[in-house]
Amino acid sequence: MEVYRLSNARRADDLTGTGARLAGGRWNYVGTPVLYTAGSRALATLEVLVHSPLSYIPDYYRMLTIRVPDDSIVSVPLEQLPDGWNTLTPPTSIKDITENWLANNRFLLLKVPSAVVEGEYNFLINPTHHRSSEVTIVSKQPYRFDPRLLRE
């Protein structure tokens, strides 16, 4: 299976989850390494843009196509998520879902619903899982954001 990641060119080869470990994210606490990927290039684009100021056009990005095993995935059912999971400041309990998944260490990928696009999914990768060596970058292409997406 292929997933997508839009990354700053300087860190495009880093699949260790360092960025998420340092900054935290919707699904992980600061200190917890996890690699965020998306089910499509379009979703990967939107996931970056929601964190960018208006009129700022990010440059020096690469779109990564990443191959992952499709036999080590567990999904988070939408109906099991707490109210407000997709708000700007979600309840921290959704980070506990990721902590439990990582502690269990049974599955390489955690399929989670996108808070940006209803019906789409992101895939979190556990960079410390014993199968993480099977996660490979298939392609890494320069990426240009269409400026129409960022106009005021």
Task: Transcribe 47-80 into DSSP letters.
Answer: HHHTTS-TT----SEEEEEEE--TTSEEE--GGG
Range of the domain at 121: 2-150
pLDDT band at 56 (very low <50, low <70, confident <90, very high): low
pLDDT band at 91 (very low <50, low <70, confident <90, very high): very high
φ, ψ (nearest 5 deg) of residue 149: -75, -15
pLDDT above 80 for 10: yes
The larger pLDDT score, comparing residue 86 to residue 54, is at 86
Mean pLDDT of the 47-63 span: 80
pLDDT at 54: 67
pLDDT at 69: 97
Q: What pTM did the predictor assign? A: 0.94
What is the end-to-end Cα distance of the chain in Å, rounded?
37
pLDDT at 73: 98
Q: How far apart are CA 137 and CA 67, in angstroms?
A: 6
pLDDT at 128: 96
φ, ψ (nearest 5 deg) of residue 3: -125, 170
58 contacts: CB under 8 Å, gap ≥ 6: 8, 48, 52, 145
Strands ordered across the beta sheet of 61-67:
73-75, 109-113, 121-125, 35-38, 2-8, 61-67, 136-143
pLDDT above 80 for 36: yes
Average pLDDT value over all residues in the chain = 93
pLDDT above 70 for 6: yes
Mean pLDDT of the 129-133 span: 97
φ, ψ (nearest 5 deg) of residue 105: 55, 30
CA 9 and chain centroid, separation: 16
Q: How many distinct structural domains can be found in the chain?
A: 1
Q: How far apart are CA 110 and CA 121, in angstroms?
A: 10
pLDDT at 52: 74
**Pair of tokens at residue 52:** 């960018």
pLDDT band at 53 (very low <50, low <70, confident <90, very high): low
pLDDT above 80 for 57: no
